[in-house]
Amino acid sequence: MTQRELIGRTATVLAMLAFAWWIAWFVRQTLDVLILMLVSAILAAGLAPLVGLLERWRLPTGTRLSRGVSIFILYVLLFAAVAGILSAIIVPAVGEATGFVQHLPDLIAQVRGWLMDLHERLPWVPDLTGMLDRLPSQIAGLSRYGPRAAETAFRFFGGLADVVAVLVFAFYMLLEGAQIKTAFLALFPAAQRPRVSRVLERIGVKFGGWLRAQLLLSFSVAAIVSIGLLALGMPFPFLLGIVAGLGELIPMVGPSLGAALAILVALAQPFWRLVAVVIFYVAVMNFEPHILVPRIMFRVVGMSPLLTLFALLVGIKLLGILGGLLAVPVAAALQVIAAEVAREIQPAEVALPPPEQEEVATGPRRPGGRGA
């Protein structure tokens, strides 16, 4: 190797390292925006089939809706559904909270008597009546948490701004999806564009499948909780089920919030019902992440339960709640890319046909024999 070649290769390596450092710096500085774009892409992929259905729908005059009008109608329907669900939750919740505050002194007296009786029967159990007596003063002192409440409110409104941004990004992705895809493919050599286009289509299918899986998961949890609370005789079983289903969209925190609301309602019920509700939610919160989520993701998205659990744990470790929410679709996209890379580097003589073409290539197989 000559000195000129050595200098050229060294300069190339240094340039690649500098470019990699710049990419890492850029991703770190714009991580929030990139996450919003990723969420928007997932939402757009999930809504694309519905937009296509509205586009194919004919008016009584025989004309079809344009893509922009179809997206607008879909957004209006989604907003109406969300508003209906929130109104169904907030109105009964306010009434239940008012009744709970009115009956709080009687409830404290009942619990205090039960604790005293328990301590008399079982002297080794700690006397918790003193802690219960301090509860009213602690409730009255909640005003000291005002600054924290204001900070939480600002974060909430910041989250609403992010939601609006996601909806706007998703709208334009749905409206100009073909143009965006064409512009992105133009960055690659002409020979590689069909392959990149195929990978993008598969990733879009995975994103849409994940969104449908999340909706199916929310519906399943809502149904399980509603039926369970109805069997226990809890008030507002379907309302609490809807809250649990919506909370399923928020990893880690959502199920706990739904359980806390149900336990709050159960405090005004007989003691056996309160214990039964706690046991029921403990069972649901263990059944959902370890059995229900992996199986639904495997059936709809095509990811193995082990990979699903691993992706969830890694996402939560890296980005918290948001990482847990985006872990499965990102892992599904990486799975598509890895499969395409493996297919590319696999030797031609041992390359296997895609699963959907295997039956066509070999013909239907008979039991115990070769294909016809």
Q: Which two tokens stand for residue 352?
A: 């296997």
Contacts of 203 (CB under 8 A, 6+ apart): 332, 333, 336, 337
pLDDT of the residue at 311: 85
Residue pointed to by tokens 């600054």: 147
Residue-wise pLDDT tens digits, 116-150: 777 677 777 666 666 666 665 555 554 454 455 44
In the numeric block, the tokens 């992706």 are attached to: 311
What's 122's DSSP letter? -
Mean pLDDT of 235-248: 82
Average pLDDT over residues 250-277: 78
- Give the residue with greater pLDDT, 173 vs 3: 173
So what's the pLDDT on residue 341? 82
pLDDT value at 227 more than 80: yes
Q: What is the DSSP string of 225-273?
A: HHHHHHHHT-SSHHHHHHHHHHHTTSTTHHHHHHHHHHHHHHTTS-HHH
For the chain, what is the mean pLDDT? 77
pLDDT at 367 exceeding the cut of 50: no
pLDDT at residue number 280:
92
Instruction: Give the alpha-carbon dihedral of 128, 129, 131, 136, to 10 degrees.
Output: 150
Nearest-angstrom CA–CA distance, 219 and 241: 9
Rounded mean pLDDT, 163-173: 87
pLDDT digits (tens, 9 = 90+) for 48-61: 888 888 888 877 77
Assess whether pLDDT exceeds 50 at residue 156: no
In whole angstroms, what is the distance from residue 207 CA to residue 37 CA? 13
Give the residue with greater pLDDT, 352 vs 13: 13
Per cent of the chain over pLDDT 70 is: 76
Q: What is the mean pLDDT of residues 260-269?
A: 78
pLDDT value at position 301? 81
Q: Say yes or no to pLDDT of 70 above 70.
A: yes
Q: Is the pLDDT of residue 240 over 60?
A: yes
Q: State the alpha helices, DSSP H only, in the chain.
A: 3-29, 31-56, 67-102, 104-121, 129-133, 135-140, 146-175, 177-185, 193-232, 237-247, 253-266, 271-287, 293-300, 305-345, 355-362
In the predicted model, is pLDDT for residue 157 greater than 50? no
Which of 67, 21, 27 is closest to 44 using CA atoms?
67
**Can you give the pLDDT at residue 359?**
42
**pLDDT confidence of 76, banded at 50, 70, 90?**
very high
pLDDT of the residue at 354: 54
More confident residue, 80 or 253: 80
Mean pLDDT for the stretch of residues 218-228: 89
Mean pLDDT of 191-204: 86
Q: Which helix (H) or strand (E) holds 128?
A: none
pLDDT of residue 260: 83
pTM for the predicted model, two decimal places: 0.64
In this model, does residue 90 exceed pLDDT 50?
yes
